[in-house]
Amino acid sequence: MIGYEFLSTRIPLRLPPVARPAQVRPVTRIERLADLLAVPRHVAPGADATILEHVLFALKHEDMQMALLLEALRLVSAEELTAALSAQRTGSYLRKAAFLWEKAHGRELPMPWDSTGGNYVDLFDATDHYVGPVWERSQRLRVNFNGIGPFDFCPVVRRDDALAQRGQQVLDRLQAWASDPGHQGTLERVLSWAYLSETRDSFAIEQETPSPDKERAFLQALAHLRDRRPLSEDYLVELQNTVISSPLRVEAQFRIEQNWLQRGGHGALAVRYVPPPPDRLPALMDGWMRMANSQGGDVPPFVRAALVSFGFVYLHPFMDGNGRLSRLLAHHSLNLQQVLPVIGEQPTLLPLSVAMKRHEALYLATLESFSRPARGLWDVTYLADNVFAFEFMSTPQIYAHWDGDSAARFVTACAEQALTQSLIDETLFIQSHDRAFERIDREFDLPNRTINLLIQWIQQNGGRMPARRRQASELALMKAEQIDRIEAIVATSFQLTSLAPPTSPQQANEA
């Protein structure tokens, strides 16, 4: 065992399993495989290598797993690290290790110099990971902390140029759709449909149907995202009060007690996820809000929206409403980044929840890529009906520093589907419907309601009039040849060029 896998055996805490462990293999150079990092023997730390040497190997060759690094560096003495720096004072990986050592110990590393000297180095290599602004800078160690978020909340996403290009293509196609002169007569109707569908499907994911008042409130919250208010505890409380169904569950602040997610099963086995302890929540939420409000760095818009949305639900800062609010916050992120075209005075909305509802099993699997291993870090004891005792056996850093690759891929794929299968298809549907309505209205003296019913029945039956509908009371005065003619009009009106299906979230996760 080498690198992170070796370190995990030395740390006296439970930690999530190493996703892609480094292992010695008969290769001539380091190779990144699907489930491991193949390392030549001459590159790997030796059998007698120290914890610090394995830390330096992980920093140089493996993906950034900060929670594990921080706990490993707790086991490294100040004397050992200072001695290593004395031998190689400007070594970039030693300085990165020293920076994280100070974070882990909460104090400065004693050094015989005011500064190590050397050029400033970024903790995150921008050729491997998406990065944010320089959140903090150590003048003593010449290290910049340039994560996607600040140290208190900094998920990690590997740079993926193909994924970023897919996201940009969605935004480019969205802009083209919104500015197409041929769509101007239908855009506002499509956008109204999108806002309503997003609202209803976000509640449907929680197995709820909003009341008319709650539906209106949610729609207003979506509409007011155009104001681009920075996230704060007060604003999030407002939004929580908006998305929650029961007035008994509205809250006035972030939670001050432990909550959990429970689903099917008996006793402690029914507890499927445990968010961070309440005493750790303030620092985590402060870091999350700073990340969510930041516009610095090179993070693609849908990747940032994914980290905001999934990061919020992992922290679960309220006792109820976190899921619906997390999906609303994905839209807040896109509005804050000003990447959506404006129709009238309203920003376009990609109904992400519609795509998530269509792929609900994959949505759950993406959430569980973090929540399932996190559940194993807690000891949960069943005491009585819905009463449990919780003991956290790990470090709260796992809630601050997590792998966001799966969330980024899922949300990008949902954006692709939201554009094509919702906005574009709905535009084509409305245009086809309008074309059919106009032709039927011109040829036949029928009430508008009857025309709409005829179009609905024929279109939903693959362009043919259902036999049982021919005897409907609305058509009592119509002749068979008239119904046949209307059938032909509807079929012709809806014969549009079929769209190639976009990459599904399932395909994206398998890519």
The DSSP line for 159-192 is --HHHHHHHHHHHHHHHHHHH-GGGTTTHHHHHH
Torsion of Cα atoms, 345 then 346 then 348 then 353, to 10°: 180
Q: What is the pLDDT averaged over residues 296-321?
A: 96
Query: Which residue(s) pair with 65 in the sheet?
Result: none
Nearest to 309 by CA among 245, 404, 169, 233: 404
What domains are defined for the chain? 3-76 (no CATH), 161-424 (1.10.3290.10), 427-493 (no CATH)
Q: Tell me, what's the pLDDT at 82?
A: 97
Q: Tell me, what's the pLDDT at 241?
A: 93
Does the pLDDT of residue 346 top 50, yes or no? yes
Nearest to 183 by CA among 455, 463, 425: 425
- Name every residue whose Cβ is closer than 8 Å to that of residue 302 and which is 6 or more positions away in sequence: 167, 170, 334, 408, 411, 412, 415
Rounded CA-CA distance 80/110 in Å is: 11
The answer to whether residues 432 and 494 touch, using CB atoms and an 8 Å cutoff, is yes
The answer to whether residues 72 and 10 touch, using CB atoms and an 8 Å cutoff, is yes
Does the pLDDT of residue 505 top 70, yes or no? no
The answer to whether residues 61 and 128 touch, using CB atoms and an 8 Å cutoff, is no
**CA–centroid distance for 449 within its chain:** 42
Does the pLDDT of residue 452 top 50, yes or no? yes
Query: Which residue(s) pair with 129 in the sheet?
Result: 158
Q: How many CB atoms lie within 10 A of CB 395?
A: 21
Q: Tell me, what's the pLDDT at 175?
A: 94
Q: What is the pLDDT averaged over residues 352-362?
A: 95
Cβ burial of 166 (10 Å; 0-12, 13-18, 19+) is buried
Does the pLDDT of residue 499 top 70, yes or no? no
- HEC secondary structure over 391-404: EECCCCHHHHCCEC
Q: Is 118 helix (H, G, I), strand (E, B) or coil?
A: coil
Does the pLDDT of residue 374 top 60, yes or no? yes
Query: Which residue(s) pair with 377 in the sheet?
Result: none
Does the pLDDT of residue 344 top 90, yes or no? no
Does the pLDDT of residue 497 top 80, yes or no? no
Q: What is the pLDDT averaged over residues 415-437?
A: 91
Q: How is residue 176 written in tokens? A: 């083209």
- Name every residue whose Cβ is closer than 8 Å to that of residue 204 and which is 6 or more positions away in sequence: 357
Rounded CA-CA distance 86/111 in Å is: 9
pLDDT digits (tens, 9 = 90+) for 10-47: 999 999 999 899 999 999 999 999 899 999 999 999 99
Q: What is the pLDDT averaged over residues 339-348?
A: 90
Does the pLDDT of residue 157 top 90, yes or no? yes
pLDDT digits (tens, 9 = 90+) for 462-496: 889 999 999 888 888 889 999 999 999 999 888 85
Q: What one-character DSSP code corresponds to residue 421?
A: I
Helices 51-61 and 92-105, axial angle in degrees (round to 10) = 110
pLDDT classification of 507: cutoffs 50, 70, 90: low
The residues assigned a catalytic role are: 316
Annotated binding-site residue? 324: yes
Annotated binding-site residue? 327: yes
pLDDT digits (tens, 9 = 90+) for 219-270: 999 999 999 999 999 999 999 999 987 888 889 999 999 999 988 777 899 9
Rounded CA-CA distance 334/347 in Å is: 10
Gap between the terminal Cα atoms of the chain: 28
Q: What percent of the chain has pLDDT over 90?
A: 83
The answer to whether residues 375 and 273 touch, using CB atoms and an 8 Å cutoff, is yes
Query: What's the whole-number average pLDDT of the chain?
Result: 93
Nearest to 486 by CA among 475, 500, 502, 472: 475
Annotated binding-site residue? 321: yes
Q: What is the pLDDT averaged over residues 67-73?
A: 98
Among the residues of 232-279, which ranges form H helices?
233-243
The backbone torsions φ and ψ at residue 449, rounded to the nearest 5 degrees and listed phi first, read -60, -40
Rounded CA-CA distance 204/167 in Å is: 26
Annotated binding-site residue? 463: no
Annotated binding-site residue? 146: no
Does the pLDDT of residue 2 top 60, yes or no? yes
Q: What is the pLDDT averaged over residues 262-290?
A: 93
Nearest to 233 by CA among 292, 177, 185, 175: 292
The backbone torsions φ and ψ at residue 361, rounded to the nearest 5 degrees and listed phi first, read -65, -40
Q: How is residue 326 written in tokens? A: 């997390």
Torsion of Cα atoms, 215 then 220 then 222 then 225, to 10°: -160
pLDDT classification of 511: cutoffs 50, 70, 90: very low
pLDDT digits (tens, 9 = 90+) for 179-200: 988 888 899 999 999 999 999 9
Annotated binding-site residue? 322: yes
Rounded CA-CA distance 314/318 in Å is: 11
Q: Tell me, what's the pLDDT at 496?
A: 52
